[in-house]
A and B are shown apart, each in its own frame.
Chain A
């Protein structure tokens, strides 16, 4: 039996908090902490390593748990499937839709109308991997039948106004502050798989994914977040740089975004600990509700609390990048200029690099 949806039960505008679930435990925790909706990705289909994706059985349980409490379950199917795997991808849509998932987070343009054919009333979120850059992108996706468009981190009030003046598509915002420097490239980056990727093996649930995390292979190694030397051949001392700036948790933009009717506020972090995500959901639930009912619109009162959460976030992120780079260890060691090929066995998994 489903409880009334926290997303749709009220006719009046209600900004929705969309929380991550990288495990069944996290799914239950974010529902209990007050998320309006949660998102989870099946093994191999949602651009995360296996430890942040869920088995079909766990997703089924999470859907039931969420629906029983009025929290809307969304499924992340945001890989670009191989054209040879499209039928398997659509089978996932049928499976999770049949179990009661109320929406899908998707990247592939061709897949969106196919979902709509299968589930006419489902909610289609355009994933950050679609790489939108302007308001007319919203118009494209609206015409394609998408319901919600997640906007880039760096977009502020001006860009939201421009989007709303150009398209009627719903707006979803990551709970990250704008980042203006570095290689800004969501949805348009295959650096990691150029350097290395690992296929899944049978024991991990799949053996048919090739390419980058974009396509469902094991993981993006976040090579943009490690240090690189940068310069010309003439530079004696190359600068050591990360390729992109770290995003910060959002706070001060929230009242203006809610004022503009942003429908979903999305918290990232399927790969974080359940405890951290639960605390973040509790924090943003409190902040959003206070803005919505007018009891607190001065975000400065939350600054100290946000700073502590940000410290935890950054520490966990650094640990995560370290783990991923360690997995990438041993790659790219071939001498430049050599025409060579190597298949390296790492931890018993077929790997390419």
Chain B
């Protein structure tokens, strides 16, 4: 990280998001982002998912690199034994290409890559359960150069891990929080709309009911979660835009917008607002501008939260005044 006169330089900051497939890559304006995580790590069956279509990787990589951005490839997060041949095929292709990193969640896959002598940098994904600096040190020996801390960690703990390990820390600043990942699809199992077709090997055939937004609601308590089939997300959107100056002052520099299942408008608008917030935070003489909070609140159907960063339950929200003043 480059810090000049106690200021981080813009060139050392990275704002990233995720793109699942070529269609989304075509539809989304990703100009605000410095790096893209390619693939939907939660479901291999998602249409043309980069995680399960090695033949699509080279073109996508060329497009992202051509735009001057970094490209990271996501690997399926919960592979069963039956999925490992497909994962292995993806890795065979991926390591031949100049990806800037592979994002791995599963420790078995991490072991597999080590035994293959992989040299592509590895990012540990959110379901890799990174809670401690001790874990980060173990994973460093597996070629892990960046970790996505478990969302339960507080800002203080994340900064501690960053300061006490030789790996980078990804800091999600916006989007629904990944809460659960499962090896089965809850929508296919339960949706009234999904067809229950079964292929000859007995596996449910997917007609992608997840193209619609599914929600889990508990009226007794007003709890809401978003169900994307194999992954359950927070109902509310994590939002740290009010806190960007403090995050940058802490020396955090790898920021991430979690946009799984969101619209092209969401990807573009969120990126644009966070890019502006970063530039404003780095500028000495800029006047305070609109934070964009209203726009982000409009895009968040169930409202905003801070996750666990300020040591509260994940769905609480503290504005800048409350944190600074409190």
Contact = CB atoms under 8 A, between A and B. Distances in A.
Interface of A: 80-84, 86, 107-111, 113-114, 130-141, 143-144, 159, 162, 180-185, 187-191, 193-197, 210-212, 214-215, 223, 226-235, 238-239, 241, 243, 328-343, 352-353
Given A130-B129, A131-B129, A337-B297, A189 B313 contact: no
Given A83-B133, A211-B308, A185 B180 contact: yes
A195 B305 CA distance: 11
B235 A336 contact: yes
Contacts of B157: 82-84
A248 to B, nearest CB: 18
- The interface size bin for chain B is 35 or more
Query: Which 5 A-B residue pairs are closest in the complex by CB-CB distance?
Result: A110-B134, A136-B108, A110-B135, A194-B314, A80-B131
B183 interface: yes
B213 to A, nearest CB: 6
B192 A239 contact: yes
Given A110-B133, A230-B190, A135 B81 contact: yes
Interface stretch (B32-40, B57-65, B251-259, B316-324): B316-324
A182 B134 CA distance: 33
A185 B109 contact: no
Nearest to A135: B81
18 contacts: A83-B133, A144-B138, A182-B189, A184-B182, A188-B181, A190-B150, A191-B232, A194-B315, A195-B313, A212-B152, A229-B217, A234-B212, A328-B221, A331-B313, A336-B301, A337-B300, A337-B303, A353-B313
B81 A162 contact: yes
A336 B189 CA distance: 27
Contacts, number: 248
Contacts of B129: 80, 107-109, 130-131, 187-188
Main secondary structure of the interface of B (DSSP, over half): mixed
B68 interface: no
Contacts of A210: 154, 311
B182 A133 contact: no
B269 to A, nearest CB: 17
Contact of A83 (B161, B225, B300): B161
B227 A190 contact: no
B99 interface: no
Given A110-B138, A191-B232, A342-B316, 15 more contacts: A109-B135, A133-B78, A181-B189, A183-B232, A188-B78, A188-B129, A194-B225, A197-B313, A211-B153, A226-B218, A234-B212, A243-B186, A243-B232, A336-B222, A339-B297
B80 interface: yes
A229 B222 CA distance: 11
Contact of B152 (A136, A183, A193): A193
Nearest to B78: A133
Interface in B211-249: 212-219, 221-225, 227, 232, 234-236
A202 B46 CA distance: 48
A238 B217 contact: yes
Nearest to A229: B217
A143 B112 CA distance: 12
Contacts of A134: 79-81, 83-84, 106, 108
Interface string B174-196: 00010111111010011111000
B212 to A, nearest CB: 5
Main secondary structure of the interface of A (DSSP, over half): loop
B137 to A, nearest CB: 6
A231 B127 CA distance: 25
A32 to B, nearest CB: 37
Contacts of B279: none
A330 B311 CA distance: 19
A180 B108 contact: no
A241 B192 CA distance: 12
Nearest to B128: A109
Interface string B72-113: 000000111101100000000000000000000011111110
A218 to B, nearest CB: 12
Contacts of A196: 313
Contact of B131 (A108, A138, A139, A239): A108
B305 to A, nearest CB: 8
A140 B107 contact: yes
Given A134-B106, A190-B152, A232 B181 contact: no
Nearest to B303: A337
Nearest to A137: B108
B184 A82 contact: no
Contacts of B304: 339
A138 B300 CA distance: 40
A352 B312 contact: yes
B80 A133 contact: yes
Contacts of A193: 152, 308, 313-314
Nearest to A138: B108
B216 to A, nearest CB: 4
Contacts of A183: 180, 182, 184, 186, 232
A133 B106 contact: yes
